[in-house]
Structure 1
């Protein structure tokens, strides 16, 4: 049996991952091929979480490198759900490489992602997989991009891909950890990709209208759901770059930009926060912000998660800045989607056949392996991408359609 360790099981997202694993184990045992063990620093809380879900557990910290390596050696895959990831991800990823254990996390911070990308050479030499950012929107946009490129290649239009724009809608309820990630991502400038290189543009300079429609009935009425979005420092920019450079498509890396849907008041607040970004990193301001964050709930309640859906859209432009294709995917609550996604990635990496997957990988390299359409529920008894259950099949079918222009 393949062994998977979940580190950070006592956090908000960690508990949801454990819940999803327990659901799979109990409701679809024929499809549950792994053995999940929970871990974190907090011994007392860890015991409570593990006992209520009937998982094995053990507590350890990340300060002693040798101790961490010993803890990881019995496992095929480790999932890192412990924030702040700037402190946990480098330590756990390096220890995993020493322990010959595959590593998966749900990082949302660009700086952390780029630090782990530097481990690619070591991971390839040791034939181990590092999958960073296997969370909600980055995984969704990454899979949509993989699908888009395959469709464009089949239509002999892949060479027309000159600009890629990724956008996500707002969600009404955020976890405390997500708010921390958003605050850490606030800068005076936004990272974009130009001619294969990272460049920085001022916040507020890049804004555009996106079509977030996914319902074919709505489109027949020509009542498209368009909304203004502002460029932001999303992990999707980096995962898209790595997906394009890692596939044998032989195309020039297009310009890549990521956006968040923002109404007028939110855009003004976003630009004000960016102008004050330097002060946000002062120790006094950070302590005050942390104090205020501690007063927030840990994350959305079960009832709130029912109304916490999100849409991810990508638009492909040619050299004339004309949109040649768009894809949109409507998803349920992003925290539940993250739990399903990261487990799917970990389960696949734990399979013996996955030994051919190694190096620093994007989520789609694992989710779309072997080469199938992960958005088609008919392809897999248990879809590789996070949308399980027949209730979402109509939504997935409409998400696969493309709206070609020209």
Structure 2
């Protein structure tokens, strides 16, 4: 198994390299700057890597990029903003015969990936799974198993909260946020009666998050799971929300804020940060189910998820095409994997309570 990391020189790219190294998976580093890639390999604990494992290529040079991926089984794309270059990397991965995952949380990128590459990926016999990060994948998996408790589903609410613990998002994450600032100011896409559109007004105004004191005010938020969940959960309505304070802070993102932050938080700050996802489903018959998953170290969790997602595509296989996480992997099994690596989750509702 050989996995290529595009954008390996970035903050999260280095964490992905370290996770691949921890698992002893053969790795190829791809990016614009060969010197930066070599430095990233050293900082990620790979030591001195063979020159053949460092390949210089830019997203806009399709031929060179496809050649850089040529002998790899899968590509992990860590280079945002994905609305600018994500399609080019997917196209090069398919041309090289590679499965593809990325760490994007950008709704527009996910939506375009499904629209543009479903046919080409299926024809190539390859699998594309965008949005394999600390938010997108856990919320997609959790929504699937929660919805099963009350199917058919009338309404599904997916909520996010982040307790920073002093840790700031990486500069790359903020750069992607700034490029997608319209989504943060409008709340992004919602899903209702069989279609996605931006003018779905959320009905949920408060959610109870673990560790919180009662109901927390929430507001519409462009969660990646809104793009993926309706592809495998039959629901009339799916809406995404987040802690209202988080929504306000991200909607106020400016170039000056981006310039003021470091490349990414140090490891000790990351360990103090918590991500929390709540899913609440209401069935057509009025039954309710609720799921919660939470953990620490958002960037480290993203690296863990991206590597495991790519590894499973290569080792276990999945249907060809562009897939949501719950279509590519067993939701229950991947949730158990996350539980074994520090996340805590539970599902309550009709049937037995399940915890992991």
TM score, norm. by length of structure 1: 0.76
User: Residue in 2 aligned with 1:359?
Assistant: 321
Q: Is the 8 A contact 1:107 1:132 kept in 2?
A: yes
Map Cα deviations across residues 271-320 of structure 1 (whole Å, 9 max, x no partner): 7x5xxxxxx9xxxxxxxx43541221111111111111111010001347
Please say if 1:373 is aligned against 2:319. no
Q: 2:235: which partner in 1?
A: 253
- TM-superposed CA distance for 1:206, in Å, is 4.6
Give the RMSD, CA atoms, in angstroms. 2.6
Specify the alignment match of 1:169 in structure 2. Answer: 161
**Bigger CA radius of gyration:** 1
Whole-Å separation in 1 of the counterparts to 2:300 and 2:257: 25
Deviations 1:323-375 (A, max 9, x none): 60100011111111110000001111122x41x42100112333427xx5333
Q: After the TM superposition, which residues 259-338 of structure 1 pair with which residues of structure 2 at under 5 Å, given as runs?
A: 259-263=241-245, 289-319=254-284, 324-338=288-302
SS in 2 for 1:254: strand
Q: Which runs of 5+ in 1 are unaligned?
A: 26-33, 215-222, 245-251, 274-279, 281-288, 377-382
Mapped contact 1:191–1:201 kept (Cα < 8 A): yes
Q: What does residue range 148-187 of structure 1 map to in structure 2 within 5 Å?
A: 148-150=146-148, 152=149, 157-159=150-152, 161-172=153-164, 173-183=168-178, 184=180, 185-187=183-185
Q: Does 1:95 align with 2:111?
A: no
1:348 corresponds, among 308, 312, 319, to 312
Deviation at 1:227, TM superposition (A): 1.2
Whole-angstrom CA distance in 2 between matches of 1:269 and 1:346: 32
* Alpha-carbon shift at residue 255 of structure 1 (Å): 0.2
What number of residue pairs does the alignment pair up? 338
- 48-57 vs 140-149, which moves further: 48-57
Residue aligned with 1:136, SS: coil
Provide the rounded CA distance (Å) in 1 between the counterparts of 2:204 and 2:157.
Answer: 11
The equivalent of 1:79 in structure 2 is 76
Aligned with 2:279: secondary structure?
A: strand
Over 3 Å counting, the alpha-carbon distance change for 1:51 and 1:58 in structure 2 is farther
5+ unaligned residues in a row in structure 2: which ranges?
352-356
